[in-house]
């Protein structure tokens, strides 16, 4: 490395687990490549992150040639304020305090001769690039869903293709791929029957502001989503695929810097997996937000009992703010499955999926989970709930060929019975189909490893992104 001062980059994250994980991974990659990175989110999230992980506010840790500092800001609400779980009210509050905080931070850095060279945010914070523009600082977006989903929102926003409407709710959507997406395969916040139209509005706000960012970074890789990345580039948007971020070899040494909100269960999960034969365990997790109806949990539990497969099931308690009852397992379930099954509140998902005993992932198909399973070579059973999860499920099954469908989205409101659960579990764990899924999963895993290795497509994209920032600074 030369003697030039490191570039200072601010990363601003919406305070949700699925937002923090990929942005923190990007933070570590940028630091490893020599930048001074400041990772910003709310104190409310920061408090959980500090309690569960080994991180501190405002102290700087060296990573590779650069460094990472956490900076948490007060969202201005009391601890148990009822606005926080409501996305619309909370987003307004966050913008109000976030704009002021960010402006002051930028100003302070400029005054202490450490000017900020670039600001990166993840979705739900469309105002961050306005603040960057006000201070004449280049900004970028880390899109935390797939490039295909980006293309769907882009087409919807610019009205480039027909989407389902109240009068035509069941039409297909033809994006730039050879196949159309059915009405129930598009990111379903864009469907007129969505229960969460506000989320579409919030995501589309980012598309309104897209001309203000000079680059869209995506946690995907060229080999996986080439056609969609190329399509976006043809629209004169600089899209750089830089994933899989979590598996970047340059941040292996910083794997203990994590942003988990929930403490892992202290029950030797990995040690337990190590006692199981190769490919014999199904891992089950619905991510951080999806909360299944109790009757669906019952059917999954009975499917597990009847199929007799080994399993690791993350059954997280509901967050206290939302006032839901914790799930209850059938009487005798834990005793009957003792030895072959484990139920935990939170686990080290990347380590679990890396463990050779895991043969299949029953997943809600959040994009982080989708990337993690694809690039660790683990086949799936898809069980999406909403938003991009339904599109990811379509791609995992029909495009990437790594699994089969099990569950339906919440809009469809269908219960998956214990017999369906049992049948799919047995098919996914052994036999011809299972072998085909595994073969494809291994192909994506190898391609991902090449993408993030030195000189691979994602690695080059990160280098070029850093070069772009430096060029902006020198004009």
Name the site residues for ligand UDP (rule: CB under 6 A). 17-18, 21, 285, 287-289, 314, 346-347, 349-350, 366-369, 372
Shorter beta-carbon distance to ligand UDP: residue 31 or 344:
344
At residue 86, φ and ψ (nearest 5 deg) are -90, 115
Q: Cα separation of 303 and 406, whole Å?
A: 12
Minimum distance of ligand UDP from residue 245's CB (angstroms): 10
β-bridge mates for residue 41, sequence order: 72
Shorter beta-carbon distance to ligand UDP: residue 285 or 458:
285
CA dihedral 187, 193, 194, 196 (to 10 degrees): 150
**Residues contacting 451, CB < 8 A, separation 6+:** 221, 222, 223, 241, 243, 244, 457, 458, 459
Is 19 one of the catalytic residues? yes
- Provide the greatest CA pair distance for the chain: 69
Q: Cα separation of 21 and 34, whole Å?
A: 20
Q: Quick one: the chain helix, strand, coil %, rounded to 5?
A: 45, 15, 40
Shorter beta-carbon distance to ligand UDP: residue 350 or 464:
350
Pairing of strands 66-73, 60-63: antiparallel
Shorter beta-carbon distance to ligand UDP: residue 336 or 350:
350
Minimum distance of ligand UDP from residue 467's CB (angstroms): 29
Name the active-site residue from 19, 109, 191, 364: 19
Minimum distance of ligand UDP from residue 34's CB (angstroms): 26
Minimum distance of ligand UDP from residue 168's CB (angstroms): 29
Minimum distance of ligand UDP from residue 385's CB (angstroms): 8
Structure tokens at 335: 């005793």
Q: Cα separation of 158 and 210, whole Å?
A: 12
Shorter beta-carbon distance to ligand UDP: residue 124 or 367:
367
Residue nearest to ligand UDP (CB): 18
Catalytic residues: 19
């Amino acid at each position: 490395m030369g003697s030039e001062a490191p570039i200072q980059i601010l990363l601003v994250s919406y305070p949700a687990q699925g937002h923090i994980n990929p942005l923190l991974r990007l933070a570590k990659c940028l630091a490893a490549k020599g930048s001074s990175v400041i990772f910003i989110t709310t104190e409310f999230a920061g408090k959980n992150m500090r309690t569960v992980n080994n991180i501190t506010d405002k102290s700087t840790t060296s990573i590779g040639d650069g460094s990472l500092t956490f900076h948490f800001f007060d969202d201005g609400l009391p601890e148990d304020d009822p606005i926080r779980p409501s996305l619309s009210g909370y987003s307004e509050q966050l913008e109000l305090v976030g704009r002021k905080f960010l402006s002051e931070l930028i100003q302070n850095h400029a005054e202490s001769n450490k000017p900020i060279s670039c600001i990166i945010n993840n979705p739900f914070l469309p105002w961050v690039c306005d603040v960057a523009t006000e201070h004449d600082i280049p900004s970028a977006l880390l899109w935390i869903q797939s490039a295909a989903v980006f293309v769907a929102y882009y087409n919807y926003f610019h009205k480039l293709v027909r989407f389902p409407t109240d009068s035509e709710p069941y039409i297909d959507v033809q994006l730039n791929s050879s196949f159309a997406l059915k009405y129930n395969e598009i990111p379903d916040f864009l469907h007129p029957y969505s229960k969460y139209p506000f989320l579409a509005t919030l995501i589309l706000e980012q598309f309104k502001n897209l001309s203000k960012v000079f680059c869209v970074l995506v946690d995907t890789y060229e080999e996986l989503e080439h056609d969609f990345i190329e399509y976006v580039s043809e629209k004169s948007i600089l899209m750089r695929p830089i994933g899989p971020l979590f598996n970047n070899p340059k941040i292996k040494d910083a794997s203990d810097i994590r942003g988990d909100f929930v403490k892992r269960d202290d029950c030797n999960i990995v040690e337990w997996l190590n006692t199981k034969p190769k490919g014999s365990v199904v891992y089950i997790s619905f991510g951080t937000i999806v909360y299944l109806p109790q009757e669906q949990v019952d059917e999954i539990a009975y499917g597990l009992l009847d199929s007799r497969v080994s399993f690791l099931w993350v059954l997280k308690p509901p967050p206290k703010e939302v006032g839901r009852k914790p799930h209850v397992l059938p009487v005798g379930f834990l005793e009957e499955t003792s030895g072959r099954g484990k139920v935990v509140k939170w686990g080290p998902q990347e380590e679990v999926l890396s463990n050779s005993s895991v043969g299949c992932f029953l997943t809600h198909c959040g994009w982080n989970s989708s990337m993690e399973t694809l690039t660790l070579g683990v086949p799936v059973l898809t069980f999406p709930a909403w938003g991009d999860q339904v599109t990811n499920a379509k791609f995992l099954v029909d495009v990437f060929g790594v699994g089969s469908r099990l569950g339906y989205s919440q809009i469809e409101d269908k219960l998956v019975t214990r017999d369906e659960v049992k049948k799919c579990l047995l098919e996914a764990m052994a036999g011809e189909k299972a072998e085909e899924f595994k073969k494809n999963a291994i192909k994506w895993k190898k391609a991902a490893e090449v993408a993030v290795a030195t000189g691979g497509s994602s690695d080059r994209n990160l280098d070029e992104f850093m070069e772009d920032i430096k060029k902006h600074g020198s004009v």
